[in-house]
Amino acid sequence: MSAYKPPHIPASEITPEHLYINRRTLLAGLAAGATFAAAPGAFAAPPKLAQGESLKTVPGPFPKPKRAETSFEDITHYNNFYEFGIGKADPFRNSEDFKPYPWTFEIGGMVQKPQTVDIETLLTKFPLEDRVYRMRCVEAWSMVIPWVGIPLKSIIDMAEPTGSAKYVAFEGVVRPKEMPGQSGFGQPMPWPYVEGLRLDEANHPLTIIAVGLYGKTLLNQSGAPMRLVVPWKYGFKGIKSITKITLTDTQPPNSWNLLAPHEYGFYANVNPNVPHPRWSQASERVIGEGGGLFGGGKRIDTQMFNGYGDEVASLYAGMDLKKNY
């Protein structure tokens, strides 16, 4: 064999993006045309996605919050994503080696149609909705984020859950070579990051899988290519870079509860009346409004269910939310 080693440059870097897409489409068409007469639509290969690419969106069904949207700069430079480190700046600093595309995830467990889903195909199946949501972290800071997403229910229904399914379990990605927080000493938690919802919470129309924000595909630090968004729960429920969705009849584990069960429960509903054992949850610091990114700033009162009580309070009728925190 020759000693020649090709340089490590992906085709997408040496071919301008639009030509690359056209070439793929052309190749798909040629392959189909070689043996069959192409059916209408057969030439439409799914788009090849990249971080920060513009998405075509439709208006979502919920009104925008009254509070102003947090800037793109703040949303993408103040994050929690322990796979890249525990500091708020670590996700944007340490995530450049992570490759969110191509991406597939599994839906399985108590379903009729377990399947592996390619995200590029998924994005051609459902309209991408604009969903501007208030987001509230358990650390008592908040943002307003213009997500782009798909109702989680649409994705779950593709797999046709059986009657015994009661919960949905989620798993994050494990890629120590691309995620510095997953390699070396002093790792903050066991991997993968895991989360769970009750099936009725997962199917609630507010619950989405976000694939973008501000009209563009997610950057790595925000959970590319797909992450959970449940706006009436503390931020840690919003698991990033999901690889697996499993329908089950038992309450799934969630990473922060495994780590500190007295501090973080399964439900994690935003609740100003139930303090965290080490701090109050009655108010929150608004990221980007006065003060610096890393301190100070305006404080506002935290609302029950983060302001989404009209929509979700009925899910918890009769439950003691002090016990089920």
Ligand X SMILES: Nc1nc2c(c(=O)[nH]1)N[C@H]1C(S)=C(S)[C@@H](COP(=O)(O)O)O[C@H]1N2
Residue 52 labelled as part of a binding site? no
CB of 174 to ligand X, least distance (A): 10
- Of the candidate spans 8-16, 76-84, 111-119, 278-286, the one that interacts with ligand X by CB under 6 A turns out to be 76-84
Peptide bond into 192 cis (omega under 30): yes
Strands 115-118, 128-136: pairing is unpaired
Residue 23 labelled as part of a binding site? no
Which of 105, 70, 75, 102 has its CA nearest to residue 221?
75
Residue 227 labelled as part of a binding site? yes
Q: Rounded distance, CA 88 to CA 33, Å?
A: 51
Residue 83 labelled as part of a binding site? yes
Angle at 65 (CA atoms; ends 60, 71), nearest 5 degrees: 95
User: Exactly one of 111, 240, 257, 307 binds ligand X (CB under 6 A); which one?
Assistant: 240
CB of 82 or CB of 325, closer to ligand X: 82
Residue 66 labelled as part of a binding site? no
User: Exactly one of 236, 264, 266, 267 binds Mo ion (CB under 5 A); which one?
Assistant: 236
CB of 188 to ligand X, least distance (A): 8
SS3 content of the chain, % helix, strand, coil (to 5): 25, 25, 50
Strands 208-213, 194-198: pairing is unpaired
Residue 82 labelled as part of a binding site? yes
Token duo for residue 49: 């996605």
Q: Considering the rule CB under 6 A, would residue 81 count as an interface residue with ligand X?
A: yes
CB of 94 to ligand X, least distance (A): 12
CB of 238 to ligand X, least distance (A): 5
> CA dihedral in degrees (31, 33, 39, 42; nearest 10)?
30
Q: Considering the rule CB under 6 A, would residue 193 count as an interface residue with ligand X?
A: yes
The interface with ligand X within residues 120-179 (CB under 6 A) comprises: 137, 172
DSSP reduced 3-state for 304: helix
Binding-site members are 79, 82-83, 137, 227, 238-240
Binding-site members for Mo-molybdopterin are 79, 82-83, 137, 227, 238-240
